[in-house]
Structure 1
């Protein structure tokens, strides 16, 4: 090929590669589209280097080397990163301006998770959202409700409607007590607090609730610290002069655009993000303050107690200076009723408490925790239950 044809080919490749990058970034059609963008970017810079002269050529050649290295790192991250094969009906977790996300319409949403290596089905279930856009719980239709808040554990990820913890609790009470499940995947104390601050669910809860329950633990700290990768739209709180202040969403403006870009980059997810997600002392302090603020708001605004079934996660606190026991003590000092719901004995005995290959609680774990909650209420808060259930 002559020098002129070689040059012409490279000149023609420049707009084509640039167009490919723009198209790939706009479509985002493949799981690893960012690698395609990086490879196209490397080829684009290499073409420009071949057309340049002098210092420009040297600089572009160095930039092309860096771009090639980035492609290699991105490919390595893709190969090393654990694969998740999850298929959920669209609309079950759309953007919602108060809490960040939620179901967009009532109905049944199908969810399935597969082993990324073998293709084996880990679970295939249905989530039913009622007319209030909350997960269906069959219980009494009227009366003062016991309201569950929380995350995917309480919501019942990987389980059909009859196997969630709120449903197991309602069943223990013979469905004679009204029970609500306001939990959703990825939620944490920040959604609990924001719900109470705004009155967002007051129409569902009603004017005279019976008890608020939120199962939580140290694994929620990264969420309240806005370090969880899926929580870009979650409510954000900061500590300013010792006071907890609502600041909008976790990511907004250019920070939101940057986070969305990074989350589609395997090199960032695998090599950098784990270090950024490490918990600090201030992260845990904010988590405690959010729960304590919600506990006070529940007492003063809704005139109910807050019961916290706490899940230990000592490994998550290694770099924070906190322990699970210290957190539970601080939550009790803040006015909450805290019980240890870790099921450590049952786990040591080999009980199947987590869905294999997934990690969310099994129906058995939910029943055990529902029994623990019911037992505590019956012994220490008997007026909370209907008289015929005592």
Structure 2
């Protein structure tokens, strides 16, 4: 009698453990829920092994040992993984058709990032998103546009509306030309190309834009290759018969579910994902070809040149067979106008060009780059900027 009660109670414990596993995976109630899941799985295997005999028990002991090792592995990764203290207004970035993601609605979004160890402020900024779901840029309301495409560097992550690169450029022109900021956090050449292919912003751009600007660096090749999980909804391109071809979104339903499950593991993010995200020669080739496809389309469809402010960032091209100089030359040979905006001299002189602990450009870096672009366009691209009062 007592033995039967004992067996029933142990079976009840197993059912409770299984229910807790289901709860953890469905609700994700704590940041380290996957570690909790692995611990619960380990306990289930231990409990089942104690109930069985022979080969079944031996097999469950092996599984329990593997589960214990996974718990240790995940626990170490949970402790070692770099943390961020980030507070962003809800709706700042949500899934969007065509380009993958973007703001959910117009309005003002607060973004605050702090050092997780000290609590020190890395940046505090407010972003105004206009009725077109673009970053507010104060400029002329009419006339041909100068359009800035790109990622968070162009959007101005970490800086206020008045401190973005497009706004600094507009200010240098005394706001006499229409300037648009179509950049957003996480975008890459694939969004640039897809926006032009679909005419997503054509009503804003107008019939005769003056110039397209796309600031880039070699690290964006990881995004074009769809290696980051957060690009999952973005457009995916591949090379087919030597041509850039759209292949849908970065992840289909089946691969997305697997990747989502893996992404909830600190051990995967810390120990495995970084290796998988390493750039290859093919990744960089695709990055160059997608960017050039956008440059060609800009010329053919809009009759406008594309100015590419290029930032040389060390480390990204190791082992790819590419160099920054080679990429720049390929872009120039393909019809792009490329300007080095790395600000190496200013950095060597001690200028604060990036937010420490984050890597995004400071307001000073945006002003310096805006000045470089204005001077270059004035001197090398006749007819883009007005030569006198308009």
The answer on 1:32 being equivalent to 2:32 is yes
Q: What is the Cα deviation at residue 14 of structure 1?
A: 1.4
Cα deviations by residue, 1:321-376 (Å, 9 ceiling, x for unpaired) = 00000000000111100010111111111100001221100000000000010010
Q: CA deviation at 1:54?
A: 1.4
Question: 1:273: how far off?
Answer: 0.7
Q: 2:248 aligned with 1:235, yes or no? A: no
CA RMSD after TM alignment: 1.3
**SS at 2:141's partner residue?**
coil
The C-alpha deviation readout for 1:171-217, integer Å capped at 9, x for no partner, is: 00001111000000000101000000111111221222111000001
- 1:141 corresponds in structure 2 to 141
Provide Cα deviations, 1:252-309, integer angstroms capped at 9, x if missing partner: 1110011111111101001101110111000000000001000000000011000000
In structure 1, C-alpha distance between the alignment counterparts of 2:240 and 2:306, rounded to whole Å: 25
Structure 1: which 5+ runs fail to align?
A: none
Secondary structure at the residue paired with 1:270? helix
The Cα offsets for residues 69-88 of structure 1, whole Å up to 9 and x where unpaired, read as 00100010111111111111
Look up the SS of the partner of 1:286 in the other structure: helix
TM-superposed CA distance for 1:6, in Å, is 4.4
- Report which stretch shifted further, 312-321 or 140-149: 312-321
Count of aligned pairs between the two proteins: 389
- Answer yes or no: is 1:246 the counterpart of 2:259: no
Mapping for residues 31-70 of structure 1, pairs under 5 Å: 31-70=31-70
2:365 is the alignment partner of 1:344 = no
Aligned residue number for residue 383 of structure 2: 383
Q: 1:242 to 1:80 in 2, by over 3 A?
A: same
Instruction: Name the CA distance, whole Å, in 1 between partners of 2:61 and 2:256.
Output: 32
> Partners in 1 of 2:158 and 2:247 — Cα distance?
33
Counterparts in 2 of 1:142-181, with a 5 A limit?
142-181=142-181
How many angstroms apart in 1 are the aligned matches of 2:378 and 2:262? 49
Written as runs of structure 1 = structure 2, the 5 A alignment for 1:297-336 is 297-336=297-336
Deviations 1:98-148 (A, max 9, x none): 100011110001111111112222222111000110000000001101000
Are 1:213 and 1:308, in contact at CA under 8 Å, matched by a contact in 2? Answer: yes
1:208 and 2:186 are equivalent in the alignment: no
1:4 positional shift: 4.8
Displacement after TM superposition at 1:382 (Å): 3.0
| Aligned partner of residue 177 in structure 2, secondary structure | coil
Q: 1:30 Cα deviation (Å)? A: 1.9
User: In structure 2, what is the equivalent of residue 289 of structure 1?
Assistant: 289
Q: Helix, strand or coil for the counterpart of 2:304? A: coil
SS in 1 for 2:308: strand
Measured after TM superposition, the shift of residue 12 of structure 1 is 0.7
TM-score (norm 2): 0.97
Displaced runs of 4+ in structure 1, greater than 6 A? Answer: none
Q: Alignment partner of 1:316: what SS?
A: coil
SS at match of 1:384: coil
Counterpart-to-counterpart distance in 2, 1:187 and 1:19: 40
- Indicate how the Cα distance of structure 1 residues 259 and 381 shifts in structure 2: closer, same or farther if over 3 A, else same: same
Contact 1:278-1:319 at 8 Å conserved across structures? no
1:262 maps to which residue? 262
SS in structure 1 of the partner of residue 383 of structure 2? helix
Distance in 2, matches of 1:146 and 1:122, equals 31
